Chain A
Amino acid sequence: MKRILVWDLPVRLGHWLMVGGFALAWATGDSESLRLVHVFAGSTVMAVAAYRLLWGILGSKHARFASFVRGPRQAAGYLKSLLRARPPHYAGHNPAAGLAIVLLLGLGLASGASGWLTYQEIGGEWLEEFHEFLTGLMLGVVGVHLLGVLVGSLAHRENLVWAMVTGRKLGEPEEAIRGPRVVAALMLLAWTAAAAWWLSR
């Protein structure tokens, strides 16, 4: 196996935008003076997640949902295999990571939408409570995801955090993607800026 390009730029940029947006939204959740920052950060998460849905269909090989979304049974099977000496290696997302991605995208959209509706004073108090429940759940999934990244990195002796920065992972040469998809990444930036601005008016 060699180090090959696996994650295109929209995947990586979207990932780190979501990290930043979620962290900022979480940090400012209780603050009234930073309310606009909170709404903008949450809107960023929502906008990136929405783009990712489209990119999961139109994106490069390892970005497409069809290439990595598996059922919970396969995810559990992969997690069990981590306990053994040689877990199966995936060039793209492993089945457990695939499950985390689906959950985080879903929760990013749902917590963003519930927060936005609360901010627009549509939906009332139950929605505000629901928003807090969803973001708490999302933090929990983030925690499990981080643990999975740590365990996966150790099991495969591969720095998966750095792979999400450079896009390069271990794999067979024929599994590599051809290019980083710069134009789609610029479109992601433009879309996210516009959508987050519009949502936080």
Chain B
Amino acid sequence: MQRILIPILLAGSAAAGAATPQQLMQDYTEQAVRQAPGYQPSARRGAELYSRRFAVSEKMPACTACHTDAPAQAGRHVVTGKAIKPLAPRAEAARFTDPAKTEKWFRRNCTEVLGRECSAAEKADFILFLTEGL
């Protein structure tokens, strides 16, 4: 029975995207190390990325445009005015627990705000900052 049940339970949890932000950060860190040996994630770089003004998009020049200067606070979509739950996992536990969703939104939002996709190193930095703060 256990031989059947355990894989089913594991598959179920994977489908629900049950990972932790630490695991996701670790995955991105491993990717980044393969690209640049010696890389270590940095919350300071993550904070800098979070607040940097790229000004690629006029309405959304930086992450802070919608997510505010304090990622543990609720944000507000600058175009639709709709409320956005806090981006930081310490305030909103569901954040960065689904690898596919995380990838999807990094791809969309990096492309729009930075004008390019984010690197694995930037993603690891970003998640570390949002998880632990500075």
Contacts and interface: CB of A to CB of B under 8 A. Distances in A.
B66 A30 contact: no
A42 to B, nearest CB: 14
Interface string A107-132: 00000000000010100010000000
A125 B94 CA distance: 12
Interface hub of B57, B79, B108 (most chain A Cβ within 10 A): B79
B2 interface: no
Contact of A36 (B66, B80, B111, B112): B80
Nearest to B101: A125
A32 B109 contact: yes
Contacts of B112: 30-33
B77 A35 contact: yes
Interface in A24-55: 30-33, 35-36
B101 A32 contact: no
Interface in B71-119: 77, 79-80, 82, 101, 108-109, 111-112
A124 to B, nearest CB: 11
Given A32-B66, A32-B109, A33-B59, A121 B82 contact: yes
Contact of B80 (A30, A31, A35, A125): A35
Interface in B49-64: 57-60
Contacts of B111: 30
Nearest to B79: A35
A119 B82 CA distance: 9
Contacts of A36: 79-80
A129 B112 CA distance: 20
A33 B112 CA distance: 8
A30 B60 CA distance: 14
Contacts of A30: 108, 111-112
Contacts of A119: 80
B6 to A, nearest CB: 25
A32 B82 contact: no
Contacts of B66: 32
12 contacts: A30-B111, A31-B112, A32-B77, A32-B79, A32-B108, A32-B112, A33-B58, A33-B79, A33-B112, A35-B77, A119-B80, A125-B101
Interface of B: 57-60, 66, 77, 79-80, 82, 101, 108-109, 111-112
4 closest A-B pairs (Cβ-Cβ)?
A33-B59, A30-B108, A33-B57, A33-B60
